[in-house]
Amino acid sequence: MQSDDLKSLVEAALPAIAAADAGALEELRVSLLGKNGNVTLLLKSLGGMDPDARKQAGAEINLVKTQITDALLARKTVLDVAALDAKLAAERIDVTAPPRPDSTGAIHPISRTMEELAAIFAPMGFAIAEGPDIETDWNNFTALNIPAHHPARAMMDTFYLQAPEGQRPPVLRTHTSPVQIRTMLDWAKAHGLAENAPPIRIVVPGRTFRADHDATHSPMFHQCEGLVIGEGIHLGHLKGVLNDMLRAYFGVPELPVRLRASYFPFTEPSMEVDIGWSRKTGEIGGGTDWLEIGGSGMVHPNVLANCGIDPRRFQGFAFGMGLERITMLKHGINDLRLFYESDVRWLRHYGVSPLSPASLHEGL
């Protein structure tokens, strides 16, 4: 290989590299420095030369290789910067622009129901309480007066997690009631037998888990429970809270609400909560029929004692209902599974604008 030939190779390669786009640049790299590229073949030819000629030719070829490599790298850098600038310009967002009036986003009906309940209960003096999805056996069952032989502890009903041998396994909470236990334990620890202990007044919306799946049941669903603990609490207070909450949520000022005797391990006496409706038309508050929507009752003395609260001095009531159930009733949704299918068309129909906050003055 003569020096003139190397010079010609460089004079032809460098202008082509400087003018190449991304695709052409890669082709040039392969044709020059690839496995069978021109410069690579020249380097391979050094083996057939005598030592003195090989030394001089090798230095010249390596110089050419360095020049071409540097030119390829410089051109690639220029192309990468230009591509990034073009992408940034194309994806630039004007953060000062007003929102699009035809926004496709919407608040999920379950989230909206939680917001509405918060707007209803807040003026009554209730605080929102939360707790973990994974609970201890004590908080989820034992402290709530649910004995070891209770059917809800069966594997067919409850999702258990693994635990060390000899210990009771934790569970995915089957109801939001463990938050009531946590709240009462904290309250008892903080106030004990204080004369002016403030009452407990909480609502607990959140996820719960049970091994069910059909048109009206889901392995994961939502509940909202309420708890009031204080001195002199009675069923009249429970009925008043439920009346105000249900009438506000369904938007029926004179909605009939009935408490019907029932049984729950954690309340005594226990009451089913029914609302008036029409079996024929499905109208809430219409007709002469009754529809069960939740459970309630006075907190069982054993539950209070389990939490360190003296049941001879303090009383309380609790209530709970499925959020999917009351949402389906309010909006006429006939299949619970639709809540979790991520169908954007369904969400656009039943969802609510993020710019429409839930508040009592808007008609709740």
pLDDT band at residue 362 using 50, 70 and 90 as cut-offs: very low
Give yes or no for residue 321 having a pLDDT over 70: yes
C-alpha gyration radius of the chain: 36
Report the DSSP beta bridge partners of residue 271.
261, 296
Q: Which helix (H) or strand (E) holds 321?
A: strand 315-322
The mean pLDDT value for 70-95 works out to 89
Note the pLDDT tens digit of each residue in 99-111: 666 656 788 999 9
pTM of the model: 0.68
Query: Under 8 Å CB-to-CB from 116, ≥6 apart: which residues?
Result: 249, 358, 364
Distance from C-alpha of 54 to C-alpha of 126, rounded to nearest angstrom: 91
User: What SS3 string covers the chain?
Assistant: CCHHHHHHHHHHHHHHHHHCCHHHHHHHHHHHHCCCCHHHHHHHHHHHCCHHHHHHHHHHHHHHHHHHHHHHHHHHHHHHHHHHHHHHHHCCCCCCCCCCCCCCCCECHHHHHHHHHHHHHHHHCCEECCCCCEECHHHHCHHHCCCCCCHHHCCCCCCECCCCCCCCCCEECCCCHHHHHHHHHHHHHHHCCCCCCCCEEEEEEEEEECCCCECCECCEEEEEEEEEEECCCCHHHHHHHHHHHHHHHHCCCCCCEEEEEEEECCEEEEEEEEEEECCCCCCECCCCEEEEEEEEEEECHHHHHHCCCCCCCCEEEEEEEEHHHHHHHHHCCCCHHHHHCCCHHHHHHHCECCCCCCCHHHCC
The mean pLDDT value for 277-293 works out to 89
Q: Which residue has the tokens 């059917």?
A: 151
- Of 215, 292, 300, 302, give the one whose Cα is nearest residue 260: 292
**CATH superfamily for domain 109-362:** Bira Bifunctional Protein; Domain 2 (3.30.930.10)
- Of 156, 154, 202, 149, give the one whose Cα is nearest residue 178: 202
pLDDT of residue 2: 54
Tell me the domain boundaries of the chain.
3-90, 109-362
pLDDT of residue 58: 79
Q: Which residue has the tokens 């992408």?
A: 87
Give yes or no for residue 121 having a pLDDT over 50: yes
Note the pLDDT tens digit of each residue in 212-241: 766 667 788 999 999 999 999 999 999 999
- Of 314, 318, 338, give the one whose Cα is nearest residue 237: 318
Positive or negative, the Cα torsion across 169, 174, 178, 179? positive
Which class for 114: exposed (0-12), middle (13-18), buried (19 or more C-beta within 10 A)?
buried
Give yes or no for residue 33 having a pLDDT over 70: yes
pLDDT of residue 232: 92
Q: Provide the token pair at 57.
A: 């030719």
Give yes or no for residue 4 having a pLDDT over 80: no
- Of 128, 148, 160, 339, give the one whose Cα is nearest residue 225: 128
